[in-house]
Amino acid sequence: MKNNSFIWLQNWYRSQCDGEWEHTYGIEIKTLDNPGWLILIDLLETEFEDYKFDEVKIKRSDNDWISCLLKNGKFQGAGGSLNLLEILNIFRDWVESKDWHHEEIDDKE
């Protein structure tokens, strides 16, 4: 089982901040009116920007669904109102699966 993916995301964000990147790019977590969640994570000017991501589409029901893709240099993850952590874990699994990922990102405070 994964430890805290929200702490992991904080640490991933911090690892991208280099004095420049954070002034232009970042992470957005928004709500959708259907209801649901949208996560936008900028990948431009990170080591992740040129790597392939296979689109994920899951529809279990009208309220339990996920759509994740890379578009315009961003990870875009959307899902139902109870799918926020699942969307985040899809991004985390993708980052952690890369052979080029040398340094483990911590999921502890």
pLDDT tens sequence for the chain (109 residues):
467 999 999 999 999 999 999 999 999 999 999 999 999 999 999 999 989 999 999 999 999 999 999 999 999 999 999 999 999 999 999 999 875 544 555 556 6
Domain membership of residue 36 (yes or no) is yes
Number of domains in the chain: 1
Domain membership of residue 105 (yes or no) is no
pLDDT in the model for residue 3 = 72
Which domain does 70 fall in, by range?
5-96
The whole-model pTM stands at 0.87
pLDDT in the model for residue 101 = 47
26-31 long-range contacts, CB within 8 A, separation 24+: 29/84
Domain membership of residue 103 (yes or no) is no
Rounded Cα gap, residues 24 and 109, in angstroms: 25
Domain membership of residue 32 (yes or no) is yes
Domain membership of residue 109 (yes or no) is no
Rounded Cα gap, residues 85 and 72, in angstroms: 23
pLDDT in the model for residue 70 = 97
